[in-house]
Structure 1
Amino acid sequence: MSNLMQALDARRFPLHGLRLIEASAGTGKTFTIAALYLRLVLGARSEDDGLAFNAGGLLPPQILVVTFTEAATEELRERIRSRLVEAARAFRQNDSDDAFLRGLLDDYPAGQRGRHAHQLELAAQWMDEAAIFTIHAYCQKMLRTHAFDSGSLFELTVNTDESALREQAVNDYWRRHFYPLPRARLLPLQAIAASPAELGRLALPLLGRLPAGPADWTPVEAILAARRAEKAAWRQQGWLEELARTLTGLREKKAVNGNKVRADSCQKWLDDLADWLARDSDDLPLAGKPFETARWRLTPAGILDALKAGMSFDPPEPFFAIERLLQPALADTSLRAALLTHATRSIAAALAAEKSRRAEIGFDDMIRGLAQALAPESPNRERLAQALRQAYPVALIDEFQDTDPAQYAIFRTLYADAGPEARLGLLMIGDPKQAIYAFRGADIFTYLAARHDTRPEQRYTLDTNWRSTTAMVGVVNRLFCGSPEAGTVSETVFGRPDIPFQAVRAAGRSEQLVQGGMPVPPLTLAWRQEAGNKDDYRQEFARRAAEAITTLLNDSEAGLLADDGGFEPLAPRDIAVLVRDWQEAAAIRRALDLCGVRSVYLSDKDSVFASQEAQDLVRWLDAVLYAEDNARLRLALATATLGLDYAGLDRLFNDEREWERTGERFRSYRQTWRQQGVLPMLLALLHDYRLPARLLVRRDEGGERQLTNLLHLAERLQADAAGIDGEVGVLRHLERLTEQPDAAQESVLRLESEDARVRVVTLHKSKGLEYPLVFLPFLAGGRALPDGRNGIFWHDGDGRLQVDLTGQDADGLAAMQRESAQEDMRLLYVALTRARHALWIGLSPLSGTGDLLAGSAIGRLLQLDGDPERFAGRLEALTQAGSGIRLDDTSPADPPPRYCDSTPAPVLFPARRLTRRIARRWRIASYSALLTGPAQAGTLAAEDSAAANRIDDTATPDSPVLPIAGRTLAGFWRGPQAGIFLHGLFEWAAQQGFGRTCELAAERRDLLARRCQRRELAGWIDFFDGWLPWVLTRPLPLNDASPVTLAALPPRSARAETEFWLGNPQLATTALDAAVSVAVWPGHARPALLPQSLQGLFKGFIDLVFEHEGRFYVLDYKSNWLGDTSASYHPDALRDEMLAHRYELQGMLYLLALHRLLRARLGADYDPATRLGGFVCWFLRGTDGPGAGIVHLPADPALLDRLDHLFACETPDADA
């Protein structure tokens, strides 16, 4: 059967049923999708159009478009929106310059075009609501929208990075299965995976690839038990001694060939067997390459093979025992397969259980969840499928070659299984020749299954290349099928007849690449006849490519010549160098640097956490956290990224004053980190050490790359820190990410510059991109075929994935290697189709194991091998007249040419001058700033944090009282740490619910145990376990209402740690002091506030806001120590303590914040006289004393109005 497919006509293409569109590179896939979208919006052209679901046209929310990246969804959305607007204009004006739109106008009656124009305009306006999704977004939306029928939760948190969860699951597996094992059984398993990290490296890639099944430990135990039994038999039967006697006897009788059974070899073999018997381990003897001969020679067949001619010998039992030890069932490969199978399935189950407990869902879970909900055994399958069909009667699946079995199962169930009578449409658009993402789970065999599910008349191709010049298209056609003529088909070039190459037409371009007034050939083959190793090849062709690029850029007559005579000189941004990995990228970038050509590297998988800057950042954070540790500090200062020279470091390390200043600087970084976050701290460090300026000076040495990475890392850490407990946790998080860099999109290296530079792009990243000129200097190197060491994965004749973790299936390994080679050829196709005008390829025979050139994709495509003569002859044959291929054997120049950038510098307008004066006293202040002033407080200093508002301002340094029987809170620590500890308990209780805290005995004790042990307060656990529920149920007296207990407050009636901000354009502390002193306890002495003018914002945290009997109160916990007995906390003492530290002022400010909030929320219903209860100051150490340690200051509406006026004043001093 011919694989020649019919060309797609976007105006006549049927929009119903299953349709497969193969879109070769550059053939206008996005244009075609937009064209089909227009037709779906317009609806049926006539009654026989066959669009039962689309007679009147569909709107964007009804047309499902699925692609595979967020960027692609946005591009499609904008392209389709633009096309809808163009089409609406054409239908309004009854004409268009666009050939497709003109043809579309002819398909619809003139009298209906106004209605169709309105339909198109409406669709364009609705594009923000268009059903254009990534596959994951689509599945997530369907699961949430149809939660009942899909069996999904209504609210699921999306976990975009499961690395921490996976690490936890691996560690849990290690603890459950490795820790309990006796040494004998543990050692052979640790030989496979020596640590949890190593186990994760082996098992995690198998998630989703192993066939489903239970996690069974029995095979592991059975192998270990069989090994134990064999070792026991050796010990009991004395086989080692018998083996030694036998070998000695054979040698003494000269019955064996002395070269095959040498004395020294026999002794080594026997010694290894003796060591094995002496070891308490269920491992095997004679392991590894040094004993490869022994594993054959000490079997019955092996020893008989060593006999001299005419000699006879009956091998005794030890030879058979060794043969049993070496049987595959007991081999390390079998043990490894059994362990990894069990580990992978156990970890998968643990991940699923933990995500279910957390109500989380990962990206793979979204697809798997919808596929399972639509599976035949699902009880609500038909109802769910019908709902999805009604929502989206037609679906366009972009990049279909990158789909997987679960994704195809979803769409096949929805659209193919419904039957032709449903009149649905599934349009699958992709190119199997560009299926290059097997490492991400994409499955070319799924595409082939879809191809099998469609009849020949349902398969279409886009047959015209709109990207490249006619000559460029002809060269690619010639390389892949031997002919430049469109329509020619090759069924063998990609290794499978069901992935044919069908030569495409060329639409041509309106400009051509010229050099010296002559067209540049579409393909240049730079070659070297002499064979060299791979490293030499990489270095030489990096230089040759860089020199060719420099020569082109320096040539003023090299550029793009338009049909109308316009000329655009070639610029660095017009050139891309495609590489396989970072090593090739580094080689070409170094070579370009030598020529003075700046470049930028784009990769779709290199993580910023794998960079040197990430490693050095670990050292910096470690030194900041432990700034008192000189060794850590020295290590941080000596990092390559910080870039301090040796002389400077030597002076620093030997100058005591400078060293002390450096330590103080790092301690200040630690304070900034704790108060403001890791990002402000790192920005301060970069500023202090002038890193941005120093790195940007070293642009040619990768300085921009380093600075981009540092800023990227700082931003990522700041974002991640929101979900991490403490600074140490952030450091450990970074350490883990540098050890196991994640693959999340936000971790991929960012582009360091948008300047006009040569692009160095990985082959995989280049898919979907295009450049005028593409260099491929390293294609001859290819890549090594998989050896099956980490398991063999291949597909059977029906396209089903097969797995052999033992690595012993020879046929499976051959199939795996064939699939790898086929994907390499597809990757080469992607590389060769990125150029609009010209390609440059570097080729050379390579020395080494096997014929590397012949095994590479380019070698197979061009029929090249490592023989220098045949290699040269084949290249000559490729350059026959009219082929468009030029050979270049120019050697690298010494010295290399230098790039002379003749581009005129951009004209910069002078910066605008600031004429107004800046108010310099603007800052963020807090309650503490009112007492200490700006010099001590600073803008975002310690007292601006929530913790600082919780401490005892006057207590002596923390000093625990000696343990006594019958502990009381009066005997607890005094000082700031005590306040932080107690406030932490109340904050946790508020989060759980005060009443629930009294009931959660186990959780409460666990929290107390952890917090007390961390502070060396283990002796206080029992006390606080009883005290906390007691104090939460203690009635607190109020002046204007019945006593309240926190435990009785409904959760919705209390809120802890309420943050507030008050604007203060101009606030005089003297006026604030006077207003509060007159209204609260007038006539009583108190310290005056420091006279100052505050401008900016006033910030604070309220310990607790609660509602009781219709009134709202502010409550503040105090841990001040006033004496050892409860009598010390009488009302006068509490009042004096509050005045001494101006807590009454603090309370009024907190009440002002609550007053403003209630006024905004309650509106006209708010009356402070009836709804605002006041400020409650609770001295916790006096709870069992008179008045329960409570001071209640009722709200004074007049005072609040006065404070409101003071804070709202808008007459700042312009020169302040």
Structure 2
Amino acid sequence: MGKFAWTKEQETALTSSKDVLLTANAGTGKTLTIVGKIMWMMGLQVGSSEGKHETIPTSINPCKINEIGAITFTRKSAADLRQKLRHELLQSDEPEAKLLALRLDEAFIGTIHGFCESILREHALRLGINPTFKVLNAQVADLKKDEIIKEVILKQLEQEYIETKALARRYRLSDIISQSRAMLREVRWHPERYRNWNSSFVDEQPLPECQDPGDRLSRDLTYGLYTLARSAEEQWQRQLLVNNEKDFDQLILETRSLLRSPKATHALQQIRSRYKILIIDEFQDTDDAQSDIAFAIGGNNKTKLFLVGDPKQSIYGWRGADITVWNEVKEKIQKSGNVLSLTKNFRSDPKVIETVNTICGPAMNQSAAKLRQAGLNTSAIDYQEMEANRASSGTAKCQLINLKASNSAGRRLEEGRKIGACIQELVEKAMIVDPDTNKKRHCTYHDIAILHRSRTNLELFQKGLVEAGIPFQISHQDYNKSTEIADIVNLLRLLINPDDNYYALGFLRSPFVGIRDEVITGIRISDFHQSLLEQAKKFLDGHKWPEYPENSSLPELERFALKRGLETFHKAQKLVGRVPLPDLLRRFVSESFYDIHLFLGNQRKGEESYSNIQGFLQFAEEHRQISIEEFLELWDLSLSKDSPPSLAADSEADLVTVSTIHKAKGLEWPIVFSIQNDKNVSQRRNELIPSDGTFLSSLYLKESDNGPHNEETLAPSNLARLEAEECRLLYVCMTRARDQLIVCGEIEKKTSGFFWERLNQFHSWENISSQTGRQEITDLDLVPLEWLNRIETMDLPPLATTITGPPMQFTSSATEVMTKQRSEEEWQKKYEYGVQSTLSFAGRRSGRIPSQTRGKVIHGVLERIQEYEELPQVLNETLNSMDTVELSGSPGPGSNYWEALELELQEVLKSSDWKWYVKGEHFRELPFVHLVGPRNWHLGAFDLYRPGADGEKALIVDFKTHKLKDADIEQVSQTYLSQMNIYQKAADISKGSVVRLHFTVPNSTWPKKGLDSTI
């Protein structure tokens, strides 16, 4: 970054010493600017201004790395920011930067929930709370709240609540729960809106503005939902208190409440002293509570605020984000800080930028004018034009696919077919600019995204893609219909209850085993008194296998598959509760060869299925610490909700991405298609419309239950807000494209749509003449078995067979042999009784680390490292991979001890010996098993094995991490002769070899070159 050339806008943001509100337009280098700001704050060189040769002056008042606070929108964003910051620190020419990379975990980089949690725990005593609270996973908390809402509804129905009975007559239970959920959040986040509700409803006389029967009905139904939500909230708070738990909402709300209370005086002093800068990313999608927390900490001379976002990308109003907060903060910061903008777009081709400006500028400005006309000035966002900072590539296009279908369902199918044909042509002929290299190359499926607004009729669109033979992955889909996910979930249920024949049947029929139904039938009728799995074990050996006339080899293959499947299942049973769920699943999928099975048929379908499995494993990773039972309960409840779990897509697979626009925010693709442009904006049902001052707040219910005040006054003003957000959604969609933007619509404009009207208002699109070119798809569920006739069976060659490990009681390592030769008593204590020598713990009192841990760190670095420049990063990765217990009591990162260790490793890596070791083919930590006699096996691993060229002996290098003097090397080396002998005999089986010891201190080897052959 020291050689980076910043725009003038970026330089101003980096070097500002005041509070900053930074509008970072799409593709303007927002994350890089945040990284630069952090490095500038720490007093590091960040580069120069664009067009100038002078470097940007460093901060005159630098802060420490632990005085940095950066809040991101998601955990993934936090991980990306941390990774990019570490990369820039390691690339810096300043030695101090590389040390800061090792200490990066001292800075806070995380979500607002993580930030609030850290404040509540660190200052628990000052704030008067119990610091041992547990934070509930968001999905778990939502599902538990829904259960409480359901209980409250049923209880109020039993108690004859009039309002609740009125709701039950009009809505299904799931609808009442959904409506109550929306009201519960409002009651919790905006209690000031409901302070007078009870007193207003106690009076039986109708309010003057509530004379219409429709208004009274809307008012009464909303009050019924309010009573449900209030009761559920009280019960939820009691449950959290009893269990000493907090959900994500409470983390934020409680932090705000405590920081604004008198008891927070001392805590605030400590927090302000800790953080010299507080960075908040995606500030356009925040709310008043998060803003209050930021200004409670910042807005003073100690902690500066650096708030970054793009109000034109505020698209999460349905999730509680409030764009009015941005405008209010803007007014506040203008008085004493800097309101800045980044307008130079580095992402998209100038042609794409011109199209975005032409369409989104008028659309947003018109929506802002409409909001101001309705008196909603604080919700209005004016468009700010972007300037292309990327040279034209000559590959850019902004085009239209013309649709002719007369209805929405027909247009979805037509979109799928025509986009599919277009994609096939793009992959065959189109060139794009590679996002990483900025060089032209051929387009792949991975370079393409299709963005949509909702899931309505999406299955028809997918059908069109399938007909065109397009491989794709989708961000939202019904995972109950995904065969591979169903197989894995069925496996988990069987692991919980192996006696359940229903799940056992699914297991045996699935690719985990893969036997015919007639075989399973034969297994079942063999003995009805046992479970199906128990019967299957006995059936392997004691019963005749059903024949398969079409291929005589199939029964033997099935027998092998059943045996392997049952063995794999038995192993997994033993690991349940001992191994985290995602690790258990990865092992089972691999050992059962399920992942290989996916690719036996259609390669593209296999990639899609494999991507689904990776997404499921990522979902399991997010719930790593819960049991299988808890995970399945969470999975079932998630599927029953309106929004099923979203599984992470495989970012490396060569698949087209089909995603909602919301999911695509923050991402980019060379080519983007926009579909569903014919949809209109409508009032969201079950959304609470805030009061206009003359009428109590109200939920927008189904049309027949909304009175005139809802329909004529509240709803129109709220619809103006929704349309403004929809304009911002269009902006997000269009700015995902780097080279080509292709939209679907009707040239004749027979069908209107919110996006389509704005896409056509000030822009003329180039029409793509697309032929659907439908491709015949074979039924992949009916796989012909004639391929079995082409298989030739034979014994595997020795090197391809699985080596059965020797019984552990007959094995020994080189270290064990050395110990036994040196002292029988020491060997017995260590290897029979498991007693560690006191020397192995040496170092804790001396400010160092135990010798065993030191050796593990050095060996870990030498195993991983590829280039000398990677040393700080690899050392940090090695430390992070070790157990906390191993490093407990050790000096902290950045201490003199770790500096000295890094210098020691530098000497090794710079030596001519090391360069020779790793030149050409070599293996690190190469394991070996050597049978040296009856019931006598030697196990070990060569630190480094270099096969050598023809006629040259192989070299085995064993790194020793003692701290020695040159004069002591000869004497110490003699003690390792038996170990060297074991290594040499094991290696000699393959090729004649020599063994060399390499002592990291004083970076010397034994025996010296030329004496190797005498060992």
TM-score interval w.r.t. the shorter chain?
0.5 to 0.7
For the pair 1:785 / 2:682, whether they are aligned, the reply is yes
Equivalent residue runs for 1:1167-1182 within 5 Å: none
Tell me how far apart the structure 2 counterparts of residues 221 and 635 of structure 1 sit (CA, whole Å): 58
- Output the CA distance in 1 between the equivalents of 2:801 and 2:736: 54
Please report how far the alpha carbon of residue 400 of structure 1 lies from its aligned counterpart in structure 2 after TM superposition: 0.7
Alpha-carbon distance in 2 for matches of 1:411, 1:718: 31
Flag the 1:614–1:327 CA change in 2: closer, same or farther, 3 A.
farther
Deviations 1:92-120 (A, max 9, x none): xxxxxxxxxxxxxxxxxxxxxxxxx5665
Q: Equivalent residues in 2 for 1:992-1071 (5 A)?
A: 1064-1065=809-810
Q: CA contact under 8 A between 2:127 and 2:258: conserved in structure 1?
A: yes
Contact persistence 1:522–1:838 (CA under 8 A): yes
Counterpart pick for 2:598 among 689, 692, 695: 695
1:591 corresponds to: 464
Q: Determine if contact 2:450/2:656 at 8 Å carries over to the other structure.
A: yes
RMSD: 5.3
Q: Which amino acid aligns with 1:395?
A: L
Matched, 1:544 2:418: yes
TM-score, normalised to structure 2, is: 0.62
Q: Write the distance in 2 (CA, Å) between the matches of 1:430 and 1:539.
A: 37
In 2: Cα distance, 1:585 partner to 1:14 partner: 48
Report the Cα distance in structure 2 between the residues aligned to 1:121 and 1:637, rounded to whole angstroms. Answer: 51
Please give the alpha-carbon distance, in whole angstroms, between the structure 1 residues aligned to 2:475 and 2:420: 17
Name the residue aligned to 1:523.
398
Say yes or no: does 1:425 pair with 2:304: yes
In structure 1, the partner of 2:441 is: 568
- Using a 3 Å threshold, how does the CA distance of structure 1 residues 327 and 162 change in structure 2: closer, same or farther? same
State the match for 1:664 in structure 2: 533
Q: Name 1:838's counterpart in structure 2.
A: 740
Matched residue type, 2:474? Y
Return the alpha-carbon distance in structure 2 between the equivalents of residues 786 and 1160 of structure 1. Answer: 73
Provide the rounded CA distance (Å) in 2 between the counterparts of 1:831 and 1:886.
19
Q: 1:423 to 1:201 in 2, by over 3 A?
A: closer
CA deviations 1:397-443 (Å, max 9, x no partner) are 21111111100011122223x4xxx3642121110111112233222
Question: CA, structure 1 residues 782+19, in 2 after alignment: closer, same or farther (shift >3 Å)?
Answer: same
Residue 815 of structure 1 deviates from its aligned partner by 2.2
Deviation at 1:56, TM superposition (A): 3.1
Matched ranges for 1:606-685 at <5 A: 632=502, 636=506, 649=517, 653=521, 657=525, 663-664=532-533, 675-677=574-576
Amino acid at match of 1:162: A
Q: Aligned residue for 2:958?
A: none
Q: Deviations over 1:580-633 (max 9, x none)?
A: 345666455443433333223345xx6857856666766676778788787x46
Report what 1:765 is aligned to.
Answer: 663
Q: Is the 8 A contact 2:671 2:738 kept in 1?
A: yes
Alignment of 1:877-888 (within 5 A): 878-879=763-764, 885-888=765-768
Q: 1:615 to 1:583 in 2, by over 3 A?
A: farther
Counterpart of 1:191 (choices 169, 174, 194) is 169
For the 8 Å contact 2:298–2:304, the answer to whether it is kept is yes
With over 3 angstroms needed to count, the CA separation of the structure-2 counterparts of 1:609 and 1:495, relative to structure 1, is farther
2:647 corresponds in structure 1 to 749
Are the equivalent residues in 2 in contact too, given 1:531–1:845 (CA < 8 A)? no
1:410 aligns with 2:293: yes
Q: Would you say 1:892 and 2:772 are equivalent positions?
A: yes
Given the superposition, is the C-alpha separation of residues 505 and 690 from structure 1 closer, same or farther in structure 2, using an over 3 Å criterion? closer
Partner residue of 1:352? Answer: 237
Code of the residue aligned with 2:688 in structure 1: it is: I
**Aligned equivalents of 1:444, 1:656: Cα separation in 2:** 63
* Residue 316 (structure 2) pairs with residue 437 (structure 1): yes
What amino acid maps onto 1:374 in structure 2?
A: L
Aligned partner letter, 2:357:
N
Give how far 1:766 is off: 1.5
Q: Distance in 2 between matches of 1:720 and 1:424?
A: 35
* 2:717 equivalent to 1:815: yes
Contact 2:367 2:724 survives alignment (8 Å): no
Structure 1 residue 761: deviation in Å? 2.7
Q: Is the 8 A contact 1:532 1:845 kept in 2?
A: no
Aligned residue type for 2:264: R
Structure 2 counterpart of 1:260: none
Distance 2:586 2:22 in 1: 51
Quote the residue 1:991 is aligned against: none
- Change beyond 3 A, Cα 1:625–1:216: farther
Matched residue of 1:532: which SS? coil
Deviation at 1:643, TM superposition (A): 12
> What is the aligned partner in structure 2 of residue 600 from structure 1?
473
Equivalent residue number for residue 165 of structure 1: 144
Q: In the TM superposition, what whole-angstrom CA distance separates every residue of 1:432-457 from its partner, at most 9, and x where no partner exists?
A: 11111223322212112212323288
Name the residue aligned to 2:967: none
Which of the numbers 67, 72, 80 marks the counterpart of 2:77?
72
How many angstroms does 1:156 deviate by? 1.7
Equivalent pairs, count: 742
Which residue type is aligned with residue 191 of structure 1? Answer: R
Q: 1:494 touches 1:500 (CA, 8 Å); kept in 2?
A: no
Deviation of residue 173 (structure 1)?
2.6
TM-score (norm 1): 0.53
Residue segments in structure 2 that go unaligned for 5+ positions in a row: 1-6, 47-57, 538-565, 779-795, 813-828, 842-931, 940-1015
State the match for 1:60 in structure 2: 65
Q: Does 1:473 align with 2:322?
A: no
User: 1:343 maps to what in 2?
Assistant: 228
Say which SS state the counterpart of residue 598 (structure 2) adopts.
helix
Q: Which runs of 5+ in 1 are unaligned?
A: 1-5, 46-52, 90-116, 228-323, 513-518, 864-873, 880-884, 899-910, 923-1062, 1068-1151, 1165-1208
Structure 1 segment 1123-1162 matched on structure 2, within 5 A: 1156=833
Counterpart residue type for residue 271 of structure 2: L
Letter of the 1:596 counterpart: G
Please state whether the residue corresponding to 1:774 is helix, strand or coil: strand
Mapped contact 1:16–1:426 kept (Cα < 8 A): no
Q: 1:705 to 1:523 in 2, by over 3 A?
A: closer
Deviation at 1:839? Answer: 0.8
Pairing of 1:286-365 with structure 2 (within 5 A): 327-328=213-214, 331=217, 333-365=218-250
Structure-2 separation of matches of 1:146 and 1:192: 49
How far 1:779 moved relative to its partner? 3.9
How has the CA–CA distance of structure 1 residues 852 and 662 changed in structure 2, closer, same or farther, with 3 Å as cutoff? farther
For residues 669 and 89 of structure 2, what CA distance do their matches in structure 1 show?
Answer: 28
Match of 1:36 in 2: 37
Deviations, residues 895-939 of structure 1 (Å, cap 9, x unaligned): 6999xxxxxxxxxxxx998499944564xxxxxxxxxxxxxxxxx
Separation in structure 1 between the aligned mates of residue 387 and residue 241 of structure 2, nearest angstrom: 53
Q: Distance in 2 between matches of 1:565 and 1:721?
A: 38
CA distance in 2, matches of 1:651, 1:803: 58
Instruction: Give 1:36-435 correspondences, 5 Å limit.
Output: 36-42=37-43, 55-85=60-90, 88-89=92-93, 117=94, 120=97, 123-160=100-137, 161-170=140-149, 172-174=151-153, 176-181=155-160, 188=166, 190-191=168-169, 195=173, 199-210=176-187, 211-212=190-191, 327-328=213-214, 331=217, 333-375=218-260, 378-416=261-299, 418=300, 422=301, 424-435=303-314
Over 3 Å counting, the alpha-carbon distance change for 1:20 and 1:659 in structure 2 is farther
> Partner of 2:728: helix, strand, or coil?
helix
Q: Which has the larger radius of gyration?
A: 1
Contact 2:70/2:108, CA 8 A, preserved across alignment = yes
CA distance in 1, matches of 2:62, 2:481: 51
Q: CA deviation at 1:846?
A: 10
Equivalent-residue separation in structure 2 for 1:1155 and 1:634 (angstroms): 42
Change (3 A) 1:659 1:463: farther
Aligned to 1:1190: none
Report how far residue 780 of structure 1 moved. Answer: 1.9
Q: Which amino acid aligns with 2:26?
A: A
Q: CA deviation at 1:781?
A: 2.5
Would the aligned equivalents of 2:474 and 2:649 in 1 still touch at CA under 8 Å? yes
SS in 2 for 1:10: helix
- For 1:217 and 1:504, the matched residues in 2 are separated by 47
Partner Cα separation in structure 2 for residue 595 and residue 916 of structure 1 = 42
